[in-house]
Structure 1
Amino acid sequence: MDTRGVCALTLLLACVCPLICGASWMGLGLTSAGVPELPGCRGLSLSDHQRELCLRKPFLVPSLRDGARLAVAECQNQFRHERWNCSTSSEPPLFGYELTSGTKETAFIHAVMAAGLVHAITRTCSQGNVSECGCDARLQSGGSVTEGWHWGGCSDHIQYGTWFSRKFIDNLPKNSSARRESYTLSTMNQHNSEAGRQAIEQTMSTDCRCHGVSGSCAVRTCWRMMAPFERVGTYLKERYERSIQVPNQSRKKPRRKEQSRPVDKYQLVYLNKSPNYCVEDRRRGIAGTQGRRCNRASAGPDSCSLLCCGRGYNTRVERHVQRCECKFVWCCYVRCRRCESMNDMHTCK
């Protein structure tokens, strides 16, 4: 990589203010396969308490990278058809305006990043890759053989992953956010990070394996497993859709729609109303929807009427070539036809 590339990567990793968002490690979610990774904690722009924790537990650095990448990819997957599509860029850095805007999108970002870290750390523990943690053995003595099942196997030990995520991301005194009367951006982010961690536990499932003669299920061994992260992302997207606006401590008078009663730890909360994301705003990192592909036949958020914000759309014919009607020919190759199709592609004006 040339000097400019190294400088750009350093700027990317250093861009997120740890005092505001508490997690400059988020930039790790954007590193590509072509970027060399420095061993240990070197090359990571971290806050003081994150660097101290990293130096004490350098064996978890690969999980930090995995958690960030997992979260960024799932954010983009969940919002791929929306006006805001969880876009990432280096100017403004990372998620741009949305990382510190206090909107519903900010809430989702912090929740999914915290969840991604729990998921990656827990998976590392369950795979036996580190000596400090492993499977959750607390359940193995439970269950009832007389009822035809017992706990066993390797249950995912999310307690360690949850502990590390709290220790690494949260930089505020521990408190009960559910009892708050008003929020700052920092306490809002802390609340949503905890909601992301709770999403891992809420989406866990119980898996069982049968034991018995000739395939009978006389006895089952059961264990607890984390859900695939896509299911966690879907869970958090549902919470995003039902997120609650809470009083902003910086405003003297709460707005009419702001939630004044306590909220629980599973809910996402936000301070400020989201923009419509229709028009590009480079200063705030809003990409706009011009040029985005839309679906003319859809009635959902990817429809041309909603995604294009009423500006209309352009249509062009796209030629698509692929192999088809493949047959195995003895011996020993596959013969295929070359099929062409013409499809309409619609993009927002």
Structure 2
Amino acid sequence: MRLSLARPDQAPRLSQFYRSIHGPEFAHQELFKAETLAQLLNDGEIAIVVATHERELLGCGLAFVRSWNQSLEISTLSVAAHPRRGEIAKALFEALRRLGIKSYGIAFFRASTESSFRRGRDMGATCWGYRPAPGSQDIGQAELLMGFINPAGQHRRAEPPYNALTSTPFAMRIIDLLEEAERNVPYPKSFPVGCPRGTGAPVISGRIWPTYHSRGNYIYIENAAGAFPVEIIKEFTEKVRKKGVRDVRLTLPVNHEQAYHELCAIGFRTVAYLPGWYLRGPNRFDCVELVFGAPPVNHAPTTFVERAVAKIHRDLRA
């Protein structure tokens, strides 16, 4: 079996393979069109690892590139009917993991079942939290965020401050597993952090940079500018919720302890601790992810995901 990175000129063959494997329920229908697939590869928005044996195409591993923080989200493993199907899928996953760690610094995936969670953990992944399913009121549909980080990579992780965000049992388990970070590196002063585009939208005494996701009807706040960013976030969140937006999400560097408490006071909830998530210059900075409008945690859980979310929720509270 040979593993290689897909090239744009391979798009016709790859799109035909995706059409032969998946039906209309496939989440990434754009891969069915050769022109679109080629453009995504050419623009560096996706990476596909291809498994072949001689002239036979055995499978494809899809990942999404996040250039703003140099991370790779491992997504779908598509494997043809084959006696070695499990082995092929494992090889595709490992190839994507290595690509993410070596070329980007962070690789992560979302586990929706106990088996995928345990497989990831067996391969060295650490649970960083959970992501509520967009558009759902059922916390049991959340996905567990599993990640790998290369602390000795091109971008050194900065040592986080010791405060309420970094001293939770959940955060400390993640921090303790990582190699020593670079000391005395100042953390970002602005928040939230993300990938802001354009000039933003005016809100009271400042501006905000939101990204709306129609699939799931939610918004990611990428940045806010003004003297009172929490007030800007509050005003914006109230406005879009009245218009029917399901939930609002943001990423906060862990040095902003006061902002964290203020955001929690207006209804945001921590769902993940993300080591080295924000990239600025030569360094990576730890962050937490918060969600306004997340489904309630089930305190009498019956499924694996519900139990995992309940434990994460307990251990993440600052």
TM-score between both structures, scaled by the size of structure 1: 0.29
Between Structure 1 and Structure 2, the one with more helix by share is: 1
Is the radius of gyration larger for structure 1 or structure 2? 1
TM-score between both structures, scaled by the size of structure 2: 0.31
